[in-house]
Amino acid sequence: MKATPYVAHTPGPDGRIPWSEVENATWQTLIARQSAELPGWACDEYCAGLARLNLPRSRVPQLDEVGQVLEGSTGWSVAAVPALISFDRFFSLLAQRRFPVATFIRRPEDLDYLQEPDIFHEIYGHCPLLTNPAFAHFTQVYGQLGLAACKEERVYLARLYWFTVEFGLLRTAAGLRLYGGGILSSIGETRYALGAVPQVAEFDLIEVLRTPYRIDIMQPLYFALSRLDDLFELAERDIMGAVHQAMRLGLRAPLFPPKPALAG
């Protein structure tokens, strides 16, 4: 795992975190500007989940506030984790219907982009859709598959998560809508994703598993489902069989330049 300059808070005995004034102000800024950006772009299921969570606007939410809503909706909860966790830990938590939330928030100087997921990304980007049964079921099955997979299989599974949970689109009767948390929690990616630049392909499991991506650039390609309930049906397919087929076929040529080498 790569190092991170961020250090997560450790919840107290009561499970709560004493966030600072600066951290609460950062949350307030992030949620205000993202909530102003999403109407008309976020999918209906996300908007319904966000309303159900009823996240505070002036402070960072406590994990138990979010967990109680998820538990009552789909039986999920959230788990406080450090800034970075192992793949084994990540898959294990998802398999148990516990969504990992890193207990730190980006610094004001990192407001627009942060490579590692912080609490705003996890709670505002992902947790609203964990109130949705199809999304919640898919995420748990994904965790179960990842937990049992070998290292090479996990590399292919990572692309499935990336192009659905993180950067998925829906093609609705009203037009393209966002459901991926990596877009929904990023003002830059929100504006970019539904613009004229990126390609949008119909979701195809084998193609998704064969498509390279980079985490440090805007996505040149997104995949669109026809409805969020397709995730439930996807979870019931032979995903690992598709992984093995994609491994035999190999990767597609990337649609982006290679990452610049570090100097020195």
Alpha-carbon distances, residue 75 vs 67, 99, 130, 136, 137 (angstroms):
9, 11, 9, 9, 10
Q: 154-177: buried (b, 16+ CB within 10 Å) or exposed (e) per residue?
A: bebbebbbbbbbbbbbbbeeeeeb
Rounded Cα distance between 186 and 182, Å, is 6
9 is in an annotated binding site: no
Cα separation, 87 vs 39, in Å, equals 34
Residue 126 is labelled as binding a ligand: yes
CA distance 107 to 161: 26
Judge whether 121 is annotated as a binding position: yes
Q: In this structure, how many other beta carbons lie within 10 angstroms of the beta carbon of residue 143?
A: 21
**Which parts are annotated binding residues for Fe cation?**
121, 126, 166
**Which parts are annotated binding residues?**
121, 126, 166
